[in-house]
Amino acid sequence: MTATVDNFSSALELEHVESHLHPEPSYDVEAHPKPTGLEEIWRFTPLKRLRGLLDGPVSEAKLKLAEELPEGASLSTISREEAKALGGIAPLDRLAALAVENAPDAMLLNIDGELDAPVRLNWSGEAADQIVWGHTVVKLAPFAKATVLLDHIGSATYGSTVTYLVGDGAQLTVISLADWEDDAVHAVQNGVSVGRDAQVRFFEFTLGGDLVRSSTNVDYRGTGGSAELFGVYFADAGQHLEHRQFVDHTAPKTRSNVVYKGALQGQDAHTVWIGNVLIRKVAEGIETFEQNDNLVLTDGAKADSVPNLEIETGEIAGAGHASTTGRFDDEHLFYLQSRGIEETEARRLVVHGFFNDIIRRIGVADLQERLTSAIEDELATVVGRLES
């Protein structure tokens, strides 16, 4: 496959694969019927709590945006048709198609060269009863290198699509943070197209919101591409946090690694992780692994974890998956307490250690401190109750 990310006008010439992992991608909203909740990709999502997003009402509302753009990065407004013409992964569900169709316009973040500081796009919402649609395209030139932070705070009912076009030999680190107020609803499709020999690290941190449904999809536009997807989520009472990944190995000698970790506490806290990997016939010599670990801190919380792997060629370097869900490790607690650490503090240390392996990889100091502090805030009340 010789197509580069700079020429997205020509789609991947791959035969259609009848797979239960995902529907056929399309920008046409009508190609994605309104779900009943029985469909495979919707069966875990409480549809009524999407607060009307599936009905697709047109809205001119926008989130407030604050931006920090280092030299080499530019942000502009483009039309819906211009955004679609850039290419990338088309919508795989109704919410993603509606976001493209209903967003008042699209934003294009262009990156060329090696940035000396992260790009920071900070979106904030002011009202949970206001429906907002968003469409963003992030485009890296060949051999560019950048870190991009997408930060979401405040209150909103927000449907969005974010497309990443990563040029040949480029290196991209994405940090997507959902730190919403407790009344927010956010549904997002992240589509990541990886160029030849390009490297992508995608971090996703979900801490706030009433309901968050995030779908992250990856394909490869040349050999040698690498994608690492990391996630941290922490659900409190009543929260529904759902993360879905679909890694489509569409080129030979590509690599993917998925690691998501979640904690749950409180009555009716619910997390969902769906990890899908498809290895096509053309994708010989690939390597992939996906892992999801969940730590249940109290009674009344529920974690669903479903890894899926479809392989259409026997010529692969390696493929596997793993999933765990459990409570505190008694041996870890005993080890810490035997060294004089009080039980409440021991429990905090276990949870921080559970997440730290991912947080430390970010490489942005102030954000690492913010996430560590946010997890401590989540723990403070319930871990204290566990002691008593």
* For the chain, percent of residues with pLDDT exceeding 90: 80
User: Which uninterrupted H or E stretch holds 85?
Assistant: helix 80-85
Q: What share of the chain is helix, strand, coil (3-state, %, to 5)?
A: 20, 45, 40
Give the tens place of pLDDT for each residue, 195-223. 999 999 999 999 999 999 999 999 999 99
SS3 29: helix
| pLDDT value at residue 165 | 98
- CA dist 330 and 338 (Å) reads 12
Report pLDDT for 26: 96
| 340 band by pLDDT with thresholds 50, 70 and 90 | low
Alpha carbons 30 and 207: distance in angstroms, whole number:
33
- What confidence score (pLDDT) does residue 341 get? 66
Q: What is the DSSP string of 39-77?
A: STTTTTS-GGGGTTGGG--------EEEEE--TTEEEEE
What is d(CA 235, CA 56) in angstroms, rounded to the nearest whole number?
27
- pLDDT of 249 > 90? The answer is yes
Lowest mean pLDDT among 27-41, 125-139, 254-268, 344-358: 344-358
The span from the CA of 38 to the CA of 45, in Å, is 10
**Average pLDDT of span 165-183:** 98
**98 phi and psi angles, rounded to 5 deg:** -65, -35
Q: What would the two tokens of residue 93 be?
A: 């569900």
Exposure string for 191-220, b = 16+ CB within 10 A, e = fewer: bbbbbbbbbbbbbbbbbbbbbbbbbbbbbb
Look up residue 239 and give its two tokens. 């929260």
Q: pLDDT averaged over the chain? A: 90
Confidence of residue 377 (pLDDT cuts 50, 70, 90): confident
**Interval 185-198 mean pLDDT:** 98
Q: Residue 349: its pLDDT value, please?
A: 75
Each residue's pLDDT tens digit, 9-56: 333 455 555 566 677 899 999 999 999 999 999 999 999 999 999 999
The stretch 109-138 carries a mean pLDDT of 97
pLDDT digits (tens, 9 = 90+) for 71-116: 999 999 999 999 999 999 999 999 999 999 999 999 999 999 999 9
Percent of all residues in the chain with a pLDDT value above 70, rounded to a whole number: 88
Q: What is the DSSP letter of 86?
A: T
In contact, 263 and 328? CB cutoff 8 Å:
no
In 288-322, which positions are buried (b, 16+ CB within 10 angstroms) versus exposed (e)? bbbbbbbbbbbeebebbbebbbbbeeeebeebebe
pTM: 0.92
* Structure confidence by residue, pLDDT tens digits, 266-313: 999 999 999 999 999 999 999 999 999 999 988 999 999 999 999 999
Amino acid at the residue 322: A
Taking the C-alpha atoms of residue 273 and residue 214, their distance in angstroms, rounded to an integer, is 10
